[in-house]
Amino acid sequence: MSKDKNSLFLLIKSLSKSEKRQFKIYANRINANKNAQFIKLFDFLENAKKYNEKNIFKKNIATQKQLPNLKVNLYKQILTCLRLNPSLQTIQLQIREKIDFANILYQKGLHVQSLKILEKAKNIAIEYHEKNIIHEIVEIEKGIETQYIREYMDTKIENLILQSNKINADNDILSKLSNLSIILYSRLIKSGYVKSEKELAEITKYFFEYLPQIDYSNADFREKMGYYMVHLWYSFLIQDFLSAYKNATRWVGLFINNPKMIDANHMTFLKASNYLLESLYMIQSPEKLKLAIQDFEKEKERLCINDNSESIYFLYYYNSCFNLCFLEGAFKENMHLVKEVLEGVESYKNQIGEHHIMVFYYKIACLYFGLKNYDKCNFYLMKIVKNKHLKMREDFLCFARILNLVSYYEAAKEFELERELKSTYKFLIKMNHLNKVQKAIILFLRKIETLYPSELKSTFSKLYDELKSYADDPYEKRSFLYLDILSWLKSKVTDMDIIEIIKENAAQSNRKIVRSIKSE
């Protein structure tokens, strides 16, 4: 069990009503257990709102010396019970169960029965492309065969050796793909997209140097999936979002063409679907994004089979709904998202983490900004700005602060604007990579207080022209994905409503994307 004192408490709080009922039946299956200490501890923690060891001692459930072992025992009992839960019986667990049974039979000296069960486990593993498990089973089979002499042994051993060699070669390719994949993904999360020609050259050289060669025509499900994944991360890193969309489409399509693999790997399918949705937002294609969200909704019942998958689905689904809302400029129509997301955040706060909660706050703030409700916008942005323990990408935190400044300006809150300008400057000084878009916006906001009303429109126009020149710059354009500052500036210059501008942009973007996809 984790050294974290809250691990047991969080596990109990994660249980559904049916799982709690199942555990109590499981724990009380033996009459001697009915008054056991671990059951008393379970009942106490189930009803507690917070973890407090002093209250455990007050209730005489356990002494300070007894409690550590009691917690370990209860944690183990809960996990053992959950392992028996049919709703949590994944393909991987089912295969593992057969391996465990085979080991028990082997220990009893029942070699033939053990090998028969291993053969069944191996066939299932082959069906679902579980190559690591196949390798484990083959190694166990080889170990048994060396201690058990029978007819046709030479043929059996020869087949095992061929299987072992084949699976080792396959696993070597998969290992190289997964290593490259996690390195690229880690680079994307820590540093974001490439920011210069030098970084682009470095990433590209590294990618093709370590990309393993595969026979694509004979590649199986796992190899193709690994191949699409590494190309997806690479495409995101270099900001080739159209290629990212194509690789995400292939990744999802791989599952659609092998539906049983969705059930066996529903979390991976969730991730693949999310990156398809994310790439459609990146290429600014609201029509395709809307259709993809609808397809994602249709899979909900199939995918949300436990607390973890429900919380992940919640993240991916509502993140995409907000993205579609911003692409379409449908702010009023999507006000319901705020209530639904805040309720979901409360329900899943222990599973989704603070980072994702802050991203939702930023998106809620953007929605309120589109509705010109600047007080609400500032309210949610300040949750991000005031969070001193938040570890997120600098560019995200920077744009949260910039939107906060713009919102104060629109609300004509001069005192708050001046205060937050000073705070933002201090934050920006510590930033390692302040790009041209960020610098231009900050300089503009810094001098705007000194302008006469008659100078505002021309100043807005100059900033719009300056930022517009960065819209196609491969190392600057990502800024506009965080904050649609161009639509806001255009509304100031043309006196058009920002929502109408966004809708006009969406129509143009759809036509452009359709042409791009058709041309390739």
User: For 431-479, how does the pLDDT look when each residue is reduced to its tens digit (9 = 90+)?
Assistant: 656 678 877 877 787 777 677 767 777 888 888 888 888 877 777 777 7
Count the domains in the chain: 2
Q: Check pLDDT > 70 for residue 5.
A: no
User: For 265-274, how does the pLDDT look when each residue is reduced to its tens digit (9 = 90+)?
Assistant: 888 999 999 9
User: For 177-192, how does the pLDDT look when each residue is reduced to its tens digit (9 = 90+)?
Assistant: 999 999 998 888 777 7
User: For 91-120, how does the pLDDT look when each residue is reduced to its tens digit (9 = 90+)?
Assistant: 888 898 899 999 888 888 888 888 899 999
Q: Check pLDDT > 70 for residue 152.
A: no
pLDDT at 2: 40
Q: Does 139 map to a domain?
A: yes
Q: 1-12 burial by CB neighbour count: b if 16+ within 10 A, else e?
A: eeeeeeebbebb
Of 477 and 45, which is predicted with more confidence?
A: 45
pLDDT at 408: 85
Closest CA to 365 of 392, 414, 401: 401
Q: Does 144 map to a domain?
A: yes
Dmax (CA) for the chain in angstroms is: 98
Whether residue 105 is found in the same domain as residue 163:
yes
* Domain finish residue from 117, 151, 172: 172
Range of the domain at 25: 7-88
Q: Does 63 map to a domain?
A: yes
Length of the chain: 520
Q: Does 39 map to a domain?
A: yes
Rounded mean pLDDT, 319-335: 92
Q: To the nearest whole percent, how much of the chain has pLDDT over 90?
A: 27
Q: Does 406 map to a domain?
A: no
Q: How confident is the model at residue 253 (pLDDT cuts 50, 70, 90)?
A: very high
Q: Does 307 map to a domain?
A: no
* Domain finish residue from 88, 112, 127: 88
What is the Cα–Cα distance from 211 to 168, expressed in whole angstroms? 18
Closest CA to 223 of 235, 211, 241, 238: 211
pLDDT at 205: 95
Structure tokens at 290: 């809307």
How many DSSP H helices and E strands does the chain contain?
26, 0
* Domain finish residue from 37, 65, 88: 88
Whether residue 64 is found in the same domain as residue 129:
no
Whether residue 105 is found in the same domain as residue 167:
yes
Whether residue 152 is found in the same domain as residue 114:
yes
Whether residue 111 is found in the same domain as residue 163:
yes
Q: Does 230 map to a domain?
A: no
Whether residue 39 is found in the same domain as residue 84:
yes
Whether residue 75 is found in the same domain as residue 98:
no
> DSSP strand E in 8-102: where?
none
Distance from CA of residue 508 to its chain's centroid? 30
User: Residue 32: exposed, middle, or buried by beta-carbon count in 10 A (0-12, 13-18, 19+)?
Assistant: exposed
Inter-CA distances, 475 with 207, 281, 299, 433, 471, Å: 19, 18, 36, 11, 9
Q: Does 315 map to a domain?
A: no
Whether residue 123 is found in the same domain as residue 149:
yes
Whether residue 161 is found in the same domain as residue 110:
yes
Closest CA to 181 of 148, 225, 216: 225
Q: Check pLDDT > 60 for residue 151.
A: no
What is the Cα–Cα distance from 447 to 459, expressed in whole angstroms? 10
